[in-house]
Structure 1
Amino acid sequence: MPVSTQGPGDALRTETPAQLMEGIRREATARLLPLLGETLRSERARLQRACDDATQDSPARDADAEDLTSLTVLAAELIQHEHRWQRALGEVFAAWPEPPASHARSAFSLLSDDELQAQLIGQPVAEALDRRFESVRDIIDRRLHTLAGRLQYRGRPSNPLAARFLVESFLRAFEAGDCGRRLRASLLRRHEALLDAELGGVYAWCNTRLAEAGCALAGDSDHASLIAGLGGSTDTLPANKTRIWEQGNAVAQAGAGASPAARADAPRGNLLRRHARRQRDARRAELDAAERSFRRDEFLSTLALLQSERSLPPGDTHAIRLREGLYAVAGGLGIDRHTVAFDGEQDEALILIGALFDLIAARHQLTPAARERLALLSVAWLHLALEDAHLFEPSSPPAMQLLSALVELWDGVDPDDPQSVEQQALADRVADAVLDGAQGDSRIFPAQLAQIDGALAANRRRAEAVERRTWQALRGRERLDAARRQARIELARRLDGRPLLPSVAGFLDVEWRQALAQSWLRDGDDSDRYREVLSLGDALVESDGLAANDGGSAVADRLLGILPALRDCCAQCGNDANATEARLAGLVAEHASPTPRQVHLPTPPSDDDTPLLPDDADPQAGLADTTFAEGQRFVQPDGAGAGRTLRIAWRSSLSGACLLVNATGAREFLLMPAELHAMIEAGQLQARPGGGAVSQALATLAAQASAA
């Protein structure tokens, strides 16, 4: 496989302005496109919590439920909305250096309702984002001015990555016809927060890309204010002001053999590389014994051949297997392993990728075939570690997202489940596509991510529909259990070993308890209706006490006062008019005539009233445990080394109970957090932390590096 001997900076300088802008468009799309799906997921989780917490008949709950339904439709058509977003952003890049046509309208043009609404909600968001990133965006604007000058463009060019274009592209992806104005504005607010976290890295990368392509700042007369705007000091400006953006300042101009490592905007990558450097220094004697280091083009050629061979020597760690594989390929090219060693950048990348893949393999239940494919993928990711300074950052580039997706598909494969086997085959195909792809082609990662999403979309929709019906039924049953439990508690407080008239005790045990449970369900325990039913029970007990002490007219007055409430209580329980009058007549008759009183024992729950969770389950303890969250994955292993994947589809807002479903969305377990902890400690379930396999592994490596 031919390998260019040009340095990255030399290669970039040969690009035409159109090629450079197309490269920026592709990379920006790969970094920003996943935010659309994340926006939908975040807003959906918020609406779901709001619906769970709202009372049954509140207007806010109805509006949230309507928005949640719209979100479900939007999520099902996510690929279509992503295409709209890419088309909108592509139009901005295609028009460059001119602004896109929609922004070049006459001042006297009329706006449609959709455009007016988009402008009203989008302009404040765009202006806020522009203010936050004003300094670095201004630098990019000035570099684009230089680039536009090469095209003989005399005006001030647009910045295709300006916040206003990104916001408009988002609004064009989710048009007013797709969702209501309220939901559209909420989605934009959610997207603004995600852009706020991502744009810094995108702008820094774009700035570096333009600098490496030789795009100087237009008008260096204000270089001091630019340095100050970036938080730097103007006291250390070099005498030759045309070199202020070279090595050591905001942007490095790369020459032949330049390394992307140690970027100011890649803090976690720098931390991990420093830690790898310390490990490398421990083997200094071994490295110094070599006569020379691998040249960059020599190393990349060897790496490309190793990837094409699809074979790695055995070894205890991925780093060892990579080293031995590279030396074996180099030996076939006539390079003696005893005379050549890996240079600092190459060795650091080997250490980092080896440690990352070791952690991933150790933390997941993979079949031998999947483990070997994972090891082969480490070759491709070793190349990425050399080329992409932001590979290890929390922003999670598409390559890392793809690696996480592959590991999740391979993790806990159940050979008896056709869907699980199908997912494993999908992961195998995607891994093969990456290994067959050309090194350095970053387009393959978002493309394969889209392949996975497209292949799993139908199964995910079916599973979500099944699990939604399951947890909605469970939530309704749990609310009913909670209402009945609270009614039993209130009934026990009023009976409490107290001798009562049979009619009073019977009314409290049947009609009053049922009315109290219904008020809890419909209006909540802080509502006026619920408090009125509680007061009715207290008044009935008090009237019984007055009758026992020969209260005379006071008993009659009290009964007359609560008679309408008693009648409403009977009607709420479904008694017809005749049954209600007969019930109340018996109640009045027992108050008026001497009737023996006795202690009443509450009626025990029938088989139909058996609670979903045991009465001794502690809701406060369940809610206080925040270890588990919706969406968290688990693997249930079996004795043969296989397993199956489970997921928390719902967590109760009343008790903290967790519903675990399988890949098809069917219910497997309904457990309190304490029971779930016990199963994990017993090895019956293996918890997979949220955030993805790669994110958690990198967080662990960063913590180890910080501790060292």
Structure 2
Amino acid sequence: MRVLEEIKRQTLEQLGGLPGSLYLPIEEALKAESLKGDGRNHQYEDQAALWVLRQQQASHVMAFRQQVALGFDAFRAPGSAVGGLGGTPLQLVGDQQLAFDLDGERLTEALDHRYLRPLEMIQGRLKMLSQAMGAPIGINPLGPYRLVRAFTAVYNDATVTESLRLRLFRQYEQELARLLGDLYGRVNNLLATAGYGVGFGAPAPGAPVRAADDRARERNTLDEVFDTVPHREPHAPLPDYSAAMGGYSDSHGGSAGYGNYGAQAPVSQADVAAMASELAELRSQLHAWREGLVKTGGLPPAHMPQRSMAPRRELRVDEVVGMVSLLQPEPPDAFARALAVSGRLGETIRDQLYDGARRLGFNPDQTCFSAEEDDAIDLVALLFDSLFRNHALQDRARRVYARLVMPYVKVALTDNEVFVKREHPARRLLDAITEACEGNDGETQQDRDLLERASSISQRIVSDYNEDLAVFELAHAELDALLAQHRRRIELQEQRAAKATYGRERLNAARNQADHAVRERVGDSELTPAVAEFLATPWRHHVVQVLLRENEDPKRRAQALALGDALVMADRLAAENRGRELADQLLALQPVIVQCLASSGLDDNAAQQAMAELVRALATPDHARRQHPQPSAAEVEEDVAEERKLYLSAGMEQVAHDPLLAQRMRELEPGDWLRLTNTQGETLAVKVAWVSPLTSRLLLVNRRGVRALVASAEELAVLAASGRLVVGAERTAFDEAMRQVRRHLDRVI
């Protein structure tokens, strides 16, 4: 009973406030949607219903906590009516309750599938717990069915619109995805510690082991343009199943002992075999690469693997770790300088370790690093080099990474799973630090706060890390909390970039249509200068305004274009000296002409004066008439010109594109990641943030949500053919860096 009460306490502590956390993100999403372009998105009903829900937030939280608690009471007495699952008479169900129930069933199925493995472990352990209490097994009180039932029970009597109901379910699912992995890991650990089902959840005999060739990423036949299947951001964060099941243990047999990593459920044999195979493949690449460097003289004599020289004693891992611990708190200036030059970091790490060996009394002439220690050093060096080569990291971030070199060498020496295990805490921390530093020039206060926090966390790792991975987990949790706000700003930045781009495209399209209309009417006609000037300036501007503001009103558009035709006709009447018809024409056109002039910013007096000058010019039949120059093509905006100059080389617009490549580019969708190289050779990861419904051009933004390039599928195909664009970039910096390390080793070998 005490164990069950502790599980109940932890569940309520982590999940009890969920209804109160749903409303603010939904409110922000509604505000963002209400600001979209044309003003036709009406969210007033949703906002009004949400406002009512927010007023009742406290009661919703209390009702939710009560429902979750009832689930634990029902688990103690499964046969009773406690928990609202039994003894309920049949009755009619309202439309809203039916909709909630159907959505709840879908969410329950999704969560059951997502957390299948940890839920199986919890269910087995709860079965043993029920047997110990002498009670029949009940429904898992913290399983998806109970949590969804508790959620729907809160809103059964609330007035909720259909779209708001969908938003509530979507936000609830996202919040559960953020919390359930950690909760299930803690509960499994708690039950195992209490003796219920220790070792439960081991894989069945004969579980399939993933072969190395199955892990290899598919290469596209179009050369190396499509490096992988394009990575697409999920609509909601996916939970970390393996972390939820726990089971990190370092090479010394110790436990990280914090958060998800404290749950000591065994990792499945299939996962262990897959990681071992991947690590073995990586090591074989490293060995071939080092042998190639030795044969070609690519390494200085002092940095060649010492095992290839006279026989020497291989240093033990604990001896090298002692050297690293000695060097860890020292200034990282040497590493910062090495990071500025690609390929120098491995040499610098070995130089520093030789120095540490001498200080500890080891003679470098009589000792050498083992193959595993060489692998750890080279992998860390290649990893950090790849981070700086493939991510837009500013100079001020170099010292942050330089401090982390020795701690990560120590991690690699004691636990090489960091290179193949995605949920490793050291790996997640490096991802968070890269997210904070990439492209961050410290222009805003928020950016400066991120840099300062990343810097302080790197200093803390240096001072606190002593082979206990809990330091990385705590640091990641702290930095990730700050990055959550940063990610919301990035989403808004992407939305603003898309809106600005779309507005600019609409303006350019309207100008092009207006220029075409002017050319049609001026063309080869011989007109008085006043009429030609009126058509080329105020009338053109008026057409642009109508197309922008009232393009969907065919009547207004036809009226604007008819004014141009009527002025050309008036000029022809004046040339033929048909005064009465001309006067009637001008009298009929006067209100429309004044309105046209007013749209150019002229007040009533100025518009009347311009009208008088136009009438005066047409009143003289023998006024000189001639052909007038056509309007020139619209100039490209300055910022767009700079952007294209940075990524599209001169003359690239005239280069023929590959139709197959262009078709593949058209298949890209928002959320796909790519790698783009500018004319200076700098490579950065970019994401397809938006595809124009007007021109089908793709908006590419960097990891900070800032617009990098807007280009057509044909232009992207030309970039790809020239080797400056590769489709397929990993979502996290560590994954991307490791993939580039493998590609680099493949290429060199």
Do they fold alike, i.e. is TM over 0.5?
yes
Aligned residue for 1:684?
Answer: none
Cα RMSD of the aligned pairs, angstroms, is 7.8
Query: Which residue of 403, 408, 426 corresponds with 1:378?
Result: 408
| Amino acid in the other structure paired with 2:522 | L
Aligned with 1:123 (options 104, 108, 115): 104
Tell me which residue corresponds to 1:489.
516
Contact 1:349-1:386 within 8 A present in 2 as well: yes
Amino acid at match of 2:404: L
Q: C-alpha offsets along residues 572-607 of structure 1, whole Å, 9 cap, x if unaligned? A: 6538889989988998999999565724647989xx
Residue 699 of structure 1: how far off its partner (Å): 3.0
Distance 1:293 1:215 in 2: 41
Pairwise mapping of residues 22-421 of structure 1 onto structure 2 (< 5 A)?
56-58=38-40, 60=41, 62-63=42-43, 98=75, 104-105=83-84, 119-120=100-101, 122-130=103-111, 132-133=113-114, 136=117, 139-140=120-121, 142-149=123-130, 151-152=132-133, 154-156=135-137, 159=140, 162-164=143-145, 182=163, 185-186=166-167, 188-189=169-170, 215=197, 264-265=270-271, 269=275, 272-279=278-285, 286=307, 316-318=344-346, 321=349, 325=353, 352-363=379-390, 364-366=393-395, 369-379=399-409, 381-382=411-412, 385-386=415-416, 391=421, 393=422, 399-407=426-434, 409=436
User: Do the aligned partners of 1:307 and 1:380 also contact (CA within 8 Å) in 2?
Assistant: no
CA contact (8 A) 1:651 1:659 kept: yes
In structure 1, what is the Cα distance between the partners aligned to 2:487 and 2:247? 45
2:542 — aligned with what? 515
Query: Would the alpha carbon gap of residues 706 and 362 (structure 1) be closer, same or farther in structure 2, given more than 3 Å must change?
Result: closer
Give the Cα separation in 2 of the matches to 1:375 and 1:173: 51
Say if 1:334 and 1:419 are closer, same or farther in 2 by CA, change over 3 A.
same
Q: Deviations over 1:338-366 (max 9, x none)?
A: 7998697x876666444323322455444
Aligned identity (percent) is 18
Q: Give the deviation of 1:700 after TM superposition.
A: 1.9
Aligned residue number for residue 700 of structure 1: 740
Secondary structure at the counterpart of residue 598 of structure 2:
coil
Q: CA offset at residue 375 of structure 1? A: 0.6
Supply the distance in 2 between the matched residues of 1:618 and 1:414 (Cα, whole angstroms).
Answer: 19
Deviation of residue 430 (structure 1)?
0.7
Residue matched to 1:5: none
Preserved contact between residue 272 and residue 701 of structure 1 (Cα < 8 Å): no
| Equivalent position of 1:574 in the other structure | 598
List per-residue Cα deviations over 1:77-105 (Å, max 9, x = no partner).
xxx99xx9xx9899789959949999934
Gaps of 5+ in 1: 1-15, 75-79, 233-249, 677-688
Is the 8 Å Cα contact of residues 431 and 733 (structure 2) preserved in structure 1? yes
Cα distance in 2 for partners of 1:417, 1:705 equals: 39
**Residue 536 of structure 1, aligned match among 562, 587, 593:** 562
Q: Which residue of 1 aligns with 2:300?
A: none
SS at match of 1:434: helix
Asked if 2 retains the 8 angstrom alpha-carbon contact of 1:543 and 1:558, the reply is no
* Segment drifting more, 417-426 vs 399-408: 417-426
C-alpha distance in 2 between matches for 1:383 and 1:20:
38
Gaps of 5+ in 2: 210-244, 255-265, 292-304, 339-343, 655-661, 717-728
Q: For residue 431 of structure 1, report the CA deviation from its aligned partner.
A: 1.6
> Which amino acid letter does the alignment assign opposite residue 528 of structure 1?
P
CA distance in 1, matches of 2:583, 2:199: 89
Q: Note the C-alpha offset of 1:196.
A: 9.1
Contact 1:292 1:341 in 2 (8 A): yes
CA distance 1:614–1:252, shift in 2 (3 Å): closer
Q: Helix, strand or coil for the counterpart of 2:521?
A: helix
Measure the CA separation in 2 of the matches of 1:601 and 1:523.
29
CA distance in 1, matches of 2:361, 2:157: 61
Q: Distance in 1 between matches of 2:504 and 2:197?
A: 65
Question: Does structure 2 retain, via aligned residues, the 8 Å contact 1:47–1:64?
Answer: no
The AA in structure 2 aligned to 1:104 is G
Q: Distance in 2 between matches of 1:558 and 1:274?
A: 92
Determine the structure 2 residue equivalent to 1:235.
none
2: CA distance, partners of 1:103 / 1:299:
61
CA deviation after TM superposition for structure 1 residue 697, in Å: 0.6
Per the TM alignment, residue 485 of structure 1 is displaced from its structure 2 partner at its CA by: 4.8
CA contact (8 A) 1:483 1:520 kept: yes
How far apart, CA to CA, are the structure 2 residues paired with 1:254 and 1:446? 14
- Over 3 Å counting, the alpha-carbon distance change for 1:300 and 1:458 in structure 2 is same
**Does structure 1 conserve the Cα–Cα contact (< 8 Å) formed by 2:686 and 2:703?**
yes
Q: Name 1:680's counterpart in structure 2.
A: none
Indicate if the aligned counterparts of 2:46 and 2:164 stay in contact, CA closer than 8 A. Answer: no
Counterparts in 2 of 1:203 and 1:659: CA distance versus 1, 3 Å: closer
Cα deviation for residue 455 of structure 1 reads 6.0
Separation (CA, whole Å) in 1 of partners of 2:466 and 2:616: 93
* C-alpha distance in structure 2 between counterparts of 1:356 and 1:694, whole Å: 8
Distance 1:499 1:165, change over 3 A: farther
Q: How many pairs align?
A: 608
- Provide the secondary structure at the position in 1 that maps to 2:453: helix
Q: CA 1:397–1:371 in 2, change beyond 3 Å: closer, same or farther?
A: closer
**What's the CA shift for 1:264?**
3.6
Counterpart check, 1:448 vs 2:475: yes
SS in 1 for 2:197: coil
Question: Match for 2:400: what amino acid?
Answer: A
Q: Shift in Å at residue 495 of structure 1?
A: 0.8
Distance 1:126 1:578 in 2: 65
TM-score, normalised on structure 1? 0.55
Pick closer, same or farther for the CA change 1:538–1:356 going to 2, 3 Å: same
Distance 1:447 1:486 in 2: 58
Deviation for aligned residue 1:427: 2.1
Residues 304 and 286 of structure 1, relative CA distance in 2, 3 Å threshold: closer
Equivalent-residue separation in structure 2 for 1:657 and 1:452 (angstroms): 32
* Structure 1 residue 494: Cα displacement: 1.7
Shift of 1:286: 4.9
